[in-house]
Amino acid sequence: MGLVAYLADIWEAVATTAKGMRITAGYGIDPRETITQEYPEERREPSERFRGFLFNDIQRCTSCTMCIRACPIDCITLESIRGADKKLKLVSYDINIGRCMYCGLCVEVCPPKSLTHSSGYEMASTERGELILHFVHEDPEEIKARVAKQVAEAAAKAEAEKKAAESEKPADESARASGEAKTAGPPAGTAGEEKKEAPAPAFAARNPGTDAERKPPPPAPAPEGNGNAPGGEGEKTE
């Protein structure tokens, strides 16, 4: 290494140091230029599409398990039970953010859009169990007992309504049958017996053009005391 190269390296070091100090001095002298944030008193707001910790709105969640199927590392677990209205009720919903890689696949496939990325990014802990987020804060056994009670009450109510409907059905049928019997009238046999034949109408006169032509006229009576009359018995002698 020659003297010229040695002097060149010294000059480059001095020049780069002066350049850096010039930028530092510019930010230090001008109070309008603020670079350092006083964390944690001041926190930087993430962008709108920032993928922070997962958050699930359990009031909108339908327990469809689509998020569990889409998650490639199985960091989401849930348990559900079917209620009296035939819908699934959440018993527990947990997300292990210590394993989550914030890929966003579970958010994309969520049908009710209850699972979203929040803007949170601070979760320092010394225990792995503290990195599991619990979204159902009620005891799972209490939820199961309450839902089972509701299902039993709904089944008992449905059975009572079914029995009441079956008991009312014979009464309605008997009332309907009695109403039909009143409106039907007497049987066919009695109606025939009570019906009488109407008498044939009596005609006051006959048509002379019919009976007179069919019957011969009656013979004329013989005159009394005349034996010579045709058809008589002869002359009487004393």
Q: What does the pLDDT look like over 13-64, one tens digit per residue?
A: 999 999 888 877 777 776 666 667 788 888 888 888 899 999 999 999 999 9
What residue ranges define each of the domains in the chain, with the CATH number in brackets?
Answer: 54-143 (3.30.70.3270)
Average pLDDT, the chain: 78
What pLDDT score does 40 carry? Answer: 83
What pLDDT score does 238 carry? Answer: 38
Query: Secondary structure of the chain in the HEC alphabet?
Result: CCHHHHHHHHHHHHHHHHHHHHHHHHHHHCCCCCCCCCCCCCCCCCCCCCCCCEEECCCCCCCCCHHHHHCCCCCEEEEEEECCCCCEEEEEEEEECCCCCCCCHHHHHCCCCCEEECCCCCCCCCCHHHHEEECCCCCHHHHHHHHHHHHHHHHHHHHHHHHHHHHHHHHHHHHHHHHHHHHHCCCHHHHHHHCCCCCCCCCCCCCCCCHHHHCCCCCCCCCCCCCCCCCCCCCCCC
Intervals of the chain under pLDDT 70? 1, 30-35, 171-175, 177-238
What pLDDT score does 102 carry? Answer: 93
Both structure tokens of 8:
């060149």
What pLDDT score does 63 carry? Answer: 92
What pLDDT score does 218 carry? Answer: 59
What pLDDT score does 188 carry? Answer: 52
